[in-house]
């Protein structure tokens, strides 16, 4: 059986160009699913020493602020059933996670989709869906709100976060692997104002390697373009129907990203005519006097998702902080950098 020669060729071309560039290059994979591919297939071990890959903010679990989790916990403790995607349960809030609330008797449900959440609502009419995720996941929430689901809205948008990262002096990112499925919805245009080389990448190891090569070619020739290396899914316009659905229900707002702070225009809130589905408004009284969010002591999640450090550089990594007992949110989600690094820690790849 022939060894994948295409891949070998890409790797040797990467080596040549990296040598030509002749300085350290830092590439950020914005999306947690790319982080998984990179760790699972040992892509870092294939790259020349001067090419570094760092994770980015594209892990919805990691960037959801404590206050949002605390709100969901508070509602659950007051008898309001909460449904959310599985990864959210373990994320530490200020006092507890939703998982602990569930263990203590609150009604907390894991759902695979907003379709399932709506089904649950027939049984639990006051059910609230904790809605997280980026542009790929927002249309599903919009559809469910249209069909009567109440939500805590923690949806965020990716390009605005990338802009903040580009302007951050501490990390100096040379180029981005842009998220494939977010791009399927938003297309290529929203990235054009971001002042950095970018390649929209698919999720197979070859796609990632090829996209790294395309980025290095841009860097080597001083180009800052948005290239699309996931054309079987992504086109320039994205999915207009999905965006129309989202914007019929939501409007842009400033949004807090855990560890990063407020990013202008990076979040979504319900439009006026749908505010009766906003659980934060509906249960305003219950949500008074939430615990003051406090940093998880020593957790460097913020630096991890900003590409400043790799998970292993966090002093708590695998010593204090593990997937069974996570100190911070980056150790929780399937797309969270610290959890992925933990899973593949023996391979020296992550």
Q: SS3 for 199?
A: strand
Q: Smaller CB distance to another protein: residue 244 or 262? A: 244
Beta strand spans in 181-339 (E) = 198-201, 226-229, 250-257, 261-270
Partner whose binding site includes residue 316, from ligand SF4, another protein, none (CB under 5 to 8 Å by kind): ligand SF4
Report if residue 323 touches another protein, rule: CB under 8 A. no
List C-alpha distances in Å: 119 to 72, 145, 151, 275, 282.
20, 13, 15, 21, 21
Q: Smaller CB distance to another protein: residue 136 or 327? A: 136
Partner whose binding site includes residue 328, from ligand SF4, another protein, none (CB under 5 to 8 Å by kind): ligand SF4
Report if residue 139 touches another protein, rule: CB under 8 A. yes
Contact stretch for another protein (CB under 8 A) within 4-12, 93-101, 277-285, 288-296? 4-12
Of the candidates 204, 225, 236, 265, which one interacts with another protein according to CB under 8 A? 204
Of the candidates 14, 27, 32, 219, which one interacts with another protein according to CB under 8 A? 32
Partner whose binding site includes residue 331, from ligand SF4, another protein, none (CB under 5 to 8 Å by kind): ligand SF4
Q: Give every CB contact of residue 72 below 8 A, 6+ residues apart in sequence.
A: 82, 84, 93, 98, 128, 130, 152
Q: How far is the CB of 31 from another protein (least distance, A)?
A: 8
Partner whose binding site includes residue 202, from another protein, ligand SF4, none (CB under 5 to 8 Å by kind): another protein
Applying the rule CB under 6 A, the residues between 305 and 324 that interact with ligand SF4 are 311, 314, 316-317, 321
Partner whose binding site includes residue 304, from ligand SF4, another protein, none (CB under 5 to 8 Å by kind): ligand SF4
Report if residue 245 touches another protein, rule: CB under 8 A. yes
Partner whose binding site includes residue 159, from ligand SF4, another protein, none (CB under 5 to 8 Å by kind): none
Q: In angstroms, rounded to a whole number, what is the distance separating the alpha carbons of residues 314 and 335? A: 18
List C-alpha distances in Å: 3 to 9, 45, 100.
11, 17, 48
- Report which secondary-structure segment, H or E, holds 155: strand 150-155
Report if residue 129 touches ligand SF4, rule: CB under 6 A. no
As separate numbers, helices (DSSP H) first and strands (DSSP E) second, the chain gives: 15, 11
Contact between 207 and 33 under an 8 Å Cβ cutoff? The reply is no
Applying the rule CB under 8 A, the residues between 33 and 52 that interact with another protein are 33, 40-42, 45-46
How many other CB atoms are there within 10 angstroms of residue 346's CB atom? 8
- Report which secondary-structure segment, H or E, holds 195: none
Partner whose binding site includes residue 191, from another protein, ligand SF4, none (CB under 5 to 8 Å by kind): none
- Pairing between β-strand 250-257 and β-strand 261-270 as defined by DSSP bridges: antiparallel
Report if residue 137 touches another protein, rule: CB under 8 A. yes
Contact between 299 and 314 under an 8 Å Cβ cutoff? The reply is yes
Give contact residues for ligand SF4 (rule: CB under 6 A). Answer: 299-301, 304, 311, 314, 316-317, 321, 327-328, 330-331, 338
């Amino acid at each position: 059986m022939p060894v994948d020669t295409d891949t070998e060729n890409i790797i040797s071309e990467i080596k040549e160009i990296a040598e030509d560039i002749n300085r350290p290059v830092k590439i950020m994979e914005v999306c947690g699913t790319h982080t998984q591919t990179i760790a699972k297939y040992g892509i870092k071990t294939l790259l020349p020493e001067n090419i570094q890959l760092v994770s980015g903010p594209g892990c919805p679990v990691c960037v959801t602020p404590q206050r949002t989790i605390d709100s969901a916990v508070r509602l659950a403790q007051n008898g309001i059933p909460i449904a959310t995607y599985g990864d959210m349960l373990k994320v530490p809030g200020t006092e507890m996670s939703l998982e602990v609330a569930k263990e203590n008797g609150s009604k907390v449900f894991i759902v695979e989709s907003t379709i399932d959440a709506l089904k649950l609502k027939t049984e639990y009419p006051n059910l609230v869906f904790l809605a997280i995720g980026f542009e790929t996941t927002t249309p599903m929430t919009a559809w469910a709100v249209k069909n009567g689901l109440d939500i805590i809205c923690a949806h965020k948008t990716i390009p605005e976060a990338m802009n903040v990262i580009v302007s951050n002096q501490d990390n100096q990112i040379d180029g981005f692997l842009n998220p494939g499925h977010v791009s399927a919805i938003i297309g290529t245009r929203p990235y054009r104002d971001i002042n950095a080389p970018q390649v929209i990448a698919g999720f197979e190891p070859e796609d990632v390697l090829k996209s790294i090569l395309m980025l290095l070619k841009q860097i080597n020739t001083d180009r800052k373009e948005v290239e699309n290396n996931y054309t079987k899914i992504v086109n320039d316009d994205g999915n207009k129907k999905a965006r129309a659905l989202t914007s019929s229900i939501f409007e842009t707002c400033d949004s807090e990203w855990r560890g990063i702070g407020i990013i202008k225009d990076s979040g979504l809130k319900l439009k006026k005519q749908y505010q009766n589905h906003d659980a934060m408004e509906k249960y305003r009284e219950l949500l008074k006097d939430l615990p003051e969010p406090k940093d998880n002591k020593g957790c460097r999640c913020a630096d991890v998702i900003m590409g400043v450090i790799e998970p292993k550089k966090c002093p708590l990594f695998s010593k204090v902080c593990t997937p069974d007992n996570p100190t911070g949110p980056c150790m929780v989600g399937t797309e969270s950098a610290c959890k992925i690094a933990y899973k593949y820690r023996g391979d020296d790849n992550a």
